[in-house]
Structure 1
Amino acid sequence: MKTLILVLGFLELLTNSVFASNAIQLINKGNDGGTVYQTVNINHNTNVAAFNIYSGAHSSNAIVDYNSGIIVYHMPYKRICVVSRMNPHTFPSISQLDQMTQEGQPLHSLHRSYGVSRKMVTNMAALGGPGQAICGGLTTYWATEYPRPHPLVGGRACAGLNLLILNVDLCGGVSLF
């Protein structure tokens, strides 16, 4: 009887996790002619969306954590993370994000621009579990979202992340990028 209960519990957990997550994959050519592999994983149980771009040395990720209201942009090739508070009035809900990816919205149809400050995140616990996991051990900076387009001021540089439907400009001091 105990074995049957354990098996049924395991099947329920497996079934719930299968139906709670959606994954989209795309393979295309990068600017240098190499292959770029992109994924979006959306988990409705944890309220987290993960964007990944695998392009060799310039791979990057973004985590949208709806529970903590934090968006994390991870650039391992720069050895940094950039974190911003999500604006719930302008950022799509997790269901809307899921619908955008499922319907095959045009690539990079969701644009976000951020000004990256030199202020480092000192309390990694404020990032929530997914943010802590992806940025642990890396220098992590706070950023503020601003409307596009935003003029560059002297001494600033930008890094662009093109994550399937999410197109991001991270602009900050030249020393950051």
Structure 2
Amino acid sequence: MGATILFVTLLGAFIHPLLADESYQYAEQGPNGITMYHTVNINEQVKVVVFNVYSGKQSANAVFDYRQNIIAYHMPYRGICVVAHMDIATFPGLGIFNKFIHTKREKEKELNKLLKHYEITNQQVGDLSQFGNAVDGLCWGVPTYWATEKPRPRAGFGAQGCAGIHFLFIHVGLCAGFHF
């Protein structure tokens, strides 16, 4: 099963850029000090952005489907896929990815203003085909759960722990904690 996931991920990494309008690669230091390599493929014709994060055992993939208003995350290291509704009124538009990828370091403050925080629920998704081919292809055969957008935790006293993924301004995680 692990070899199949690796094969599909690598195949997607090599084939998808051929179909994309824009394709970017960049590297950054992760929170644990490991170098994380990212590829971002933007297809404006079908209104889809595909992210691939290569970070050893914690590699992940995501699809932002602007036609379906759906976000899907595949976390092989957790053995799950996560689907969330994209609030089109507050979610950054498709065109913003080009802008931020080219000027990521200079735009760090703007990225923090756009930060979205999603928490995974225990509600499992039954029929992936309702979300279109991009999401169905990413999550097919993997237990898939709904996530809901939550306000960012308040600053102050408290503690929180999350296991999940971070893409530019999106944080998705299995979170727990308390704040005062």
Relative to the length of structure 1, the TM-score reads 0.74
SS in 1 for 2:57: helix
Larger Rg: 1
Evaluate the alpha carbon distance shift between residue 124 and residue 167 of structure 1 in structure 2; reply closer, same or farther with a 3 A threshold: closer
Distance across 1 between alignment mates of 2:147 and 2:166: 18
1:91-147 Cα distance to aligned partner (Å, 9 max, x none): 111112332223333396442212221110001112211110010000000111112
Q: 2:3 — aligned with what?
A: none
Over the aligned positions, Cα root-mean-square deviation in angstroms equals 2.8
Relative to the length of structure 2, the TM-score reads 0.73
**Does structure 2 conserve the Cα–Cα contact (< 8 Å) formed by 1:115 and 1:170?**
yes
Number of matched residues?
153
In structure 2, stretches of 5+ residues that fail to align are: 1-16
Q: 2:132 — aligned with what?
A: 128
SS in 2 for 1:149: coil
**Does structure 1 conserve the Cα–Cα contact (< 8 Å) formed by 2:36 and 2:54?**
yes
**Does structure 2 conserve the Cα–Cα contact (< 8 Å) formed by 1:25 and 1:40?**
yes
Q: In structure 2, what residue type is equivalent to 1:118?
A: N
1:43-70 Cα distance to aligned partner (Å, 9 max, x none): 1011000111101111011110001110
In structure 1, stretches of 5+ residues that fail to align are: 1-16
Q: 2:144 — aligned with what?
A: 140
**Does structure 1 conserve the Cα–Cα contact (< 8 Å) formed by 2:50 and 2:61?**
yes
